[in-house]
Amino acid sequence: MYSSKITGLGYYVPENVVTNDDLAKLMDTNDAWIQERTGIKERRHIKKGDGNSTSIMGAKASRIALDRAELSPDDIDMIVFATLSPDMYFPGGGVEVQEMLGMRTVPALDVRNQCSGFIYAISVADQFVKTGMYKHILVIGSENHSGGLDFSDRGRSVSVIFGDGAGAAIVSRNESGEGGILSTHLHSEGKHKDELSLKGPSTGYWVPQIIAENPQEDIPYYPYMNGQFVFKHAIVRFAEVIQEGLESNDLEVGDIDMLIPHQANLRISQFIQHKLKLEDDKVFNNIQKYGNTTAASIPIALTEAWEMGKIKKGDLVVLAAFGSGFTWGSAIIRW
């Protein structure tokens, strides 16, 4: 059995900065409410004509990660692409990146686990590398939320939270055998699927039915989120799955050098930090600048923390996520 490690990281966010005051021009909201409830000051949105899409942003982040791993697209044996906002209903973003980067006819797998998508994707990559089947896997998390949010008053409790962006990581065979991805831990609880969801268009709720059953001015093809319900479950599951990961490696909270939580809401991250009694410099948050970028949030945060020198060789890095499904997971990494 081999082990795997992250050998390259990259992220890309659109240039267009959207502040809370900008959103207040579109809907009945304000900077104080958004900052107090979520910690978010601004986020990035794709601008019409700026040439970005979920897959294009994923490809941009991937090129940076490949350069840093000193690999070319030809070296990659598999793509795992996590998103809830693909460019097309089908096929998924993985094949688009395969084409954009001019890669060999390698497998391209799409992961649909929303906020936990990147942890699920890393876990899949880790298994393929561990068994020896593949040597280098490109893992991407990318989202174009702004293309599908309700920016009227009706959607304000959801649309102020989310932003666009992409992050990528190269998961490679750990030739030295030192450290690397120690373990990943994945969970789901489908009974809460309705609490954070987008019901249609889907095969269960197709366009003609949506139009026939709803008044023209109230067509429900926007996400629904039971915010307080999600919050209460998130804080329990985040803490649980971090503890599970640590215990399975005979580690303790005190061993954590850097926790990168999915950037759901700054209040959720602060709650977990407080619950685990972690010092400020052991938890990385950048939701203030980018909002919640779902599958992209962990690779963007991980890349930024690494670029800022906050993650060093030998550090114990813990990634953790919770989101729609509900699904949740953690990854324990010795850097």
Catalytic residues: 115, 262, 292
Q: Which of 265, 269, 285, 330 binds ligand ACO (CB under 6 A)?
A: 265
Peptide bond into 223 cis (omega under 30): no
145 binds ligand ACO (CB under 6 A): no
Q: Which is nearer to ligand ACO, 27 or 106 (CB)?
A: 27
Q: How are beta strands 316-323 and 78-82 bridged, if at all?
A: unpaired
Q: Which of 150, 183, 227, 239 binds ligand ACO (CB under 6 A)?
A: 227
Instruction: Report, in Å, the least distance between residue 75 CB and ligand ACO.
Output: 33
d(CA 312, CA 315): 6
Q: Does 322 bind ligand ACO (CB under 6 A)?
A: yes
Residue 328: CB minimum distance to ligand ACO, A: 9
In 3D space, the residue among 86, 149, 83 whose CA is nearest the CA of residue 111 turns out to be 83
Q: d(Cα 195, Cα 297) in Å, to the nearest integer?
A: 21
**Residue 95 or 161: which CB sits closer to ligand ACO?**
161
Q: How far apart are CA 27 and CA 196, in angstroms?
A: 21
CB nearer ligand ACO, residue 110 or residue 143: 143
The site string for ligand ACO over 99-138 (x = CB under 6 A, - otherwise) reads ----------------x-----------------------
Sign of the dihedral through C-alpha 64, 184, 274, 192: positive
Q: Could you tell me where the beta strands, DSSP code E, fall in 21-135? A: 42-44, 78-82, 108-111
User: Least CB distance from residue 302 to ligand ACO, whole Å?
Assistant: 16
Using CB under 6 A, count the residues that bind ligand ACO.
23
Options 128-136, 154-162, 180-188, 239-247: segment touching ligand ACO (CB under 6 A): 154-162
Nearer to ligand ACO, 203 or 228 (CB): 228
52 Cβ contact list (under 8 Å, min separation 6): 14, 46, 144, 164
